[in-house]
Amino acid sequence: MDKNEHTAKVTGTKTVKLNKNQTLSLYKDKEQELNKVASKIKEVEALLNEIIRAKSTLDEIKNSKPSDSVLINIGAGILIDCNIANKKEAKITLPGNILIDKELDIIIKDIQNRENELNKLRTEFLQNYNQTIKVLNTFSYALNTLAKQEAKSKSTVEETDIN
What percentage of residues in the chain have a pLDDT greater than 90?
45
Cβ neighbours of residue 9 closer than 8 Å, sequence gap 6 or more = 15, 138
Which alpha helices (DSSP H) does the chain contain, by range?
20-62, 104-162
Domain count across the chain: 1
Q: Is residue 148 assigned to a domain?
A: no
- Residue 81 is part of which domain span? 37-139
For residue 68, pLDDT beyond 80:
yes
Confidence (pLDDT) at 156: 65
* Range 22-27 average pLDDT: 83
Q: Is residue 80 assigned to a domain?
A: yes
Q: What CATH number did the domain enclosing 119 receive?
A: 1.10.287.370
Q: How confident is the model at residue 162 (pLDDT cuts 50, 70, 90)?
A: low
* Range 27-56 average pLDDT: 94
Q: Is residue 64 assigned to a domain?
A: yes
Q: Is residue 84 assigned to a domain?
A: yes
Confidence (pLDDT) at 157: 55
Whether residue 107 contacts residue 58, with contact meaning beta carbons closer than 8 Å, is answered with yes
Confidence (pLDDT) at 73: 85
Q: Please tell me the distance from the alpha carbon of residue 141 to that of residue 51, in angstroms, as a whole number.
A: 41
Whether residue 64 contacts residue 87, with contact meaning beta carbons closer than 8 Å, is answered with yes
Q: Is residue 19 assigned to a domain?
A: no
Q: Is residue 87 assigned to a domain?
A: yes
For residue 115, pLDDT beyond 90:
yes
pLDDT tens string 72-109? 888 899 999 988 888 889 999 989 989 999 999 999 99
